[in-house]
Structure formats: C-alpha cells, structure tokens
Amino acid sequence: MRATAKAHTNIALIKYWGKRDESLILPTNNSLSVTLDGFYTETTVAFNEALKQDQFTLDGQSISGVQYDRVTTFLDLVRDVAGKKNLYAAVDSVNKVPTAAGFASSASGFAALAAASARAIGLSLTDQELSRITRQGSGSACRSIYGGFAEWEMGKRADGSDSYAVPIAPVDHWDIRVAAVVLNATKKKVSSREGMKRTVDTSPFFASWVESNPVDLNGIKAGIKHRDFEKVGEIAEANCLKMHATTLGANPPFTYLQDTTLTVMQAVQAMRANGIPAFFTIDAGPNVKVLYLPENERTVEKTLRGIPGVTDVILSKSGQGVTYL
C-alpha cells in the first residue's frame, strides 16, 4: 500500500491556455511539451487503514489549506477508480523544482502524486490511463508522464475519456537544451488558472488563438521529427507570443511579461541576429526559458548571465518520464 514515484516538470512549446471544462480540466486545444531533466518531484504515498484523513508533507513541512485540498481532491479520484472510498494516505513530496525558476511545480507534483498513489492503491494503469487521471490534478501535468516530447490530445468527449497525453519522441531522439532564466521580478498577481479563465471568458483574441493552434502544432511535430531546430524554435516562440497576446485583450487586461522579461526576449533575438540559434518561451509568469543546442551552451549561458535583471540561469537537458523508486 506504499509506492514512490519521480516525475519531471515540462515546458510547453505549444501552450495549453484555455479550458472547455474547468472541473474535469479539459482544454480548448492540443499542447506539446518537452520534459526537463533538471527539475522534478519525488513523492511517496502510503495508504493506511488506521488514518482518519489524508496527510501531506512537502519538503518535510506539513501542508494545509488550498494545496492540501488539491491533493486530497486528487486522491479522491484515485480512491474512486480503485473502489476504496475511505482509505486515506500519507503523502510525502520532495520538490526539486526551484520555485524561483518560475516553473509550475504542479506539473511534476501531480504527475508524481498520480503515479505513486495509483501504484500504492494497487491500480495497474497504462501510461495513457495514468495521464488521463493526472490531467485532473493539473492539466500540464498529464504531459509529464512521458520523457522527451509529449503531446496532450484535447479530445472531443464531454467526459474527458479521450483527453490525455501521448509520447511524440523519446528523450534520446534529440538533445535539445533549455535554460531557465531567473529574473529580478515581482510576484505575479494573476495565477495561471485564473488568468486562463479570464482570457477564455473575456478576450476577443481567444478565438483566434484557438484557431491558429493546429497549424503551429503540425509544424512543430514535423520540426521535431526532422530535428529542425530553427523550425521548432520559431514556432515555439511565436506560439508563446500568441498566448501572451490573448491576456492583453482580457477584461480586466493583464500581462505576465515584466520589464526584465522583455529585456531577455530582446537579448535572445539579438543572439539569433549574431548567428546563435536560441529561442524563448514563457509560461504564466515573468521568467523566460531559452531553447538552444548543446554546441552553443557556453555562449548562451554567458550571454544570459550578462543581461541586467538576470539573477540566475539553470541549464537542463530533456528528461525521462515517470519512474518508480
């Protein structure tokens, strides 16, 4: 009744930005990501008939409130599938995702929680089934089941049974790298969940965002297949800018981009003008992720570290999917 799983976070190259069903977490478009070796969560789940409720510790600290609620709500799903209604668990998570790096630790967190809890309660799930359950913890987490490149297929059904991630290319297909650029920035005011909802509800640009996604998706999949870095980078950067454009049209309008974010975006474009292929992508926050190839690692790192407002640069290769310890 006990299992430990490790899952890495991922960075989307085609963004998930918009839900068609908020409680089941069903998206309005497919998304595609690369799993990152440098950032992960390890979670142990132990179901125990003596427990009267779930317990949750994160990095050794006992957690209550909203974070605890999200964990127990997720465990309810797993209990439901297993048909073990009143069986509670002790959950211990260790996060190797520097919060400051601007990664949502929810991706690695829910992927590790889903894998460990499903195994601990005795379910034997396919990756697809595991991804589908993980999705209901946090959407982007369903892609972290797989290593390398993964695509979340949005699905069509109202019950979400066809909404899960699938592997696109394994980690050894292509050694592309990601630099997480940590910035001197203020804490974001709009969470990704809230920002996504406000955009769907009010932004006149949302419809064209959804409409433009399939072309980006097909293009990037061809680029990944042929290891065409320029193509993948150009599409990823443009897709990220389209996502951020939708928030400017929301009511009330908002943006995750800060002055230091724009400085890094321009520096990445300047690197390209100087012949170094590097491309940026940005999630729902001010920090920037930069895609580059191994042969340019030293130049990219040095350039990024030299930009005013940059406080740290953390380099990562692409990583494996869920593993059990």
| Contact call for residue 15 and ligand FM0 (CB under 6 A) | yes
- What is the distance between the alpha carbons of residues 152 and 131, in angstroms, rounded to a whole number? 9
Q: What minimum distance in Å lies between the beta carbon of 104 and ligand FM0?
A: 5
| Contact call for residue 286 and ligand FM0 (CB under 6 A) | no
| Contact call for residue 31 and ligand FM0 (CB under 6 A) | yes
Contacts 24+ apart (CB under 8 A), 165-169: 165/131, 165/135, 166/128, 166/131, 167/127, 167/321, 168/32, 168/221, 168/224, 169/224, 169/225
Q: Which of 37, 42, 283, 301 contacts ligand FM0 by CB under 6 A?
A: 283
Tokens 């002055």, located at residue: 259
Q: Which of 36, 104, 271, 288 contacts ligand FM0 by CB under 6 A?
A: 104
Q: Which of 101, 115, 210, 284 contacts ligand FM0 by CB under 6 A?
A: 284
- What would the DSSP string read from start to end of 22-38? TTTTEESS-EEEEEEEE
Q: What minimum distance in Å lies between the beta carbon of 127 and ligand FM0?
A: 18
| Contact call for residue 188 and ligand FM0 (CB under 6 A) | no
Interface with ligand FM0 by CB under 6 A: which range of 136-144, 162-170, 220-228, 305-313? Answer: 136-144
- What is the distance between the alpha carbons of residues 161 and 22, in angstroms, rounded to a whole number? 15
Question: Quick one: how far is CA 58 from the chain centroid?
Answer: 19
Q: Which of 96, 173, 188, 193 contacts ligand FM0 by CB under 6 A?
A: 193
| Contact call for residue 29 and ligand FM0 (CB under 6 A) | no
| Contact call for residue 164 and ligand FM0 (CB under 6 A) | no
C-alpha separations of 74 from 24, 95, 118, 121 in Å: 11, 18, 11, 13
Q: Which of 4, 35, 140, 163 contacts ligand FM0 by CB under 6 A?
A: 140
Nearest-Å Rg of the Cα atoms of the chain is 19
**Strands in 49-109 per DSSP E:** 55-58, 61-62, 88-96
| Contact call for residue 192 and ligand FM0 (CB under 6 A) | yes
The continuous run of DSSP H or E covering 205 comes out as none
- What is the distance between the alpha carbons of residues 78 and 95, in angstroms, rounded to a whole number? 22
Main-chain phi, psi angles of 16, to 5 degrees: -90, 115
| Contact call for residue 318 and ligand FM0 (CB under 6 A) | no
Q: Which of 35, 43, 106, 163 contacts ligand FM0 by CB under 6 A?
A: 106
Q: Which is nearer to ligand FM0, 16 or 88 (CB)?
A: 16
Q: What minimum distance in Å lies between the beta carbon of 156 and ligand FM0?
A: 18
| Contact call for residue 131 and ligand FM0 (CB under 6 A) | no
Binding site for ligand FM0 (CB under 6 A): 12, 15-17, 25, 31, 104, 106, 138-140, 192-193, 283-284
